[in-house]
Amino acid sequence: MRLRSLGVALAATAALAALPTAHPSAGAAEIPLPQGKTVTASSEENPGPAAAPAVDSGPGCGTADAARGRPATASSTENAGTPASAAFDGDPGTRWSSQAADPQWVRVDLGSVQDVCKVDLDWETAYGKDFQIQASADGQNWTTLENVTGATGGTASYDVSGSGRYVRIRGTARGTGYGYSLWEVAVHTGSTGVPPVQGGGDLGPNVIVVDPSTPNLQRKFDDVFARQESAQFGTGRYQFLLKPGTYHGINAQLGFYTSVSGLGLNPDDTQIDGDITVDAGWFNGNATQNFWRSAENLAIKPSNGTDRWAVAQAAPFRRIHVQGGLNLAPNGYGWASGGYIADSRIDGTVGPYSQQQWYTRDSSVGGWSNGVWNMTFSGVQGAPATDFDSGPYTTLDTTPVSREKPFLYLDGSGYKVFVPAKRTNARGVSWPAGPGNSLPLDRFYVVKPGATAATINAALAQGLNLLFTPGVYHLDRTIDITRADTVVLGLGLATLVPDNGVDAMHVADVDGVRLAGFLIDAGPVNSDTLLRIGTPGAGADHSADPTTMQDVFVRIGGAGPGLATNSVVVNSDDVIIDHTWIWRADHGGGVGWETNRADQGLRVNGDDVLATGLFVEHFNKYDVYWNGQRGRTIFFQNEKAYDAPNAAAVTHDGIVGYAAYKVADSVTSHEAWGLGSYCNYTADPSIVQAHGFQVPVTSGIRMHDLLVISLGGKGQYAHVVNGTGTPTSGTGTVPSKVTSFP
Task: Give catalytic residue positions.
Answer: 639
Strand extents, DSSP E, 557-650: 564-570, 576-584, 600-604, 610-617, 624-626, 631-639
* DSSP helix/strand/coil, 452: coil
Pick the closest to residue 289 from 336, 221, 247, 352 (CA basis): 336
DSSP-assigned beta bridge partners for residue 548: 514, 576
Q: Report the alpha-carbon distance of residue 27 to residue 154 in Å, rounded.
A: 12
* C-alpha pair distances (Å), 42 with each of 26, 27, 30, 36, 716: 7, 7, 10, 19, 80
Task: Kindly give, in sequence order, each residue whose CB lies less than 8 Å from that of residue 413, ignoring residues fewer than 6 positions away.
Answer: none
Question: Which long-range contacts does 20-29 make (Cβ < 8 Å, 24+ apart)?
Answer: 20/125, 20/126, 20/176, 20/178, 21/45, 21/125, 22/125, 23/125, 23/153, 23/154, 24/152, 24/153, 24/154
Identify whether the C-beta of residue 675 lies closer than 8 Å to the C-beta of residue 693: yes
Q: From the DSSP assignment, how many helices (H) and strands (E) are in the chain?
A: 2, 51
Between strands 479-481 and 610-617, the pairing is unpaired
Are the beta carbons of 636 and 661 closer than 8 angstroms? yes
Contacts of 237 (CB under 8 A, 6+ apart): 206, 257, 470, 471, 472, 492, 493, 494, 495
Grouping H, G, I as helix, E, B as strand and the rest as coil, residue 225 is: helix
> How far is the C-alpha of 116 from the C-alpha of 119, rounded, in Å?
8
Which uninterrupted H or E stretch holds 224?
A: helix 217-228
Q: Torsion angle, CA of 442/447/449/450, rounded to 10 degrees?
A: 100
**Mapping DSSP to helix (H, G, I), strand (E, B) and coil, where does residue 219 land?**
helix
C-alpha to C-alpha distance for 279 and 712, rounded to whole angstroms: 25
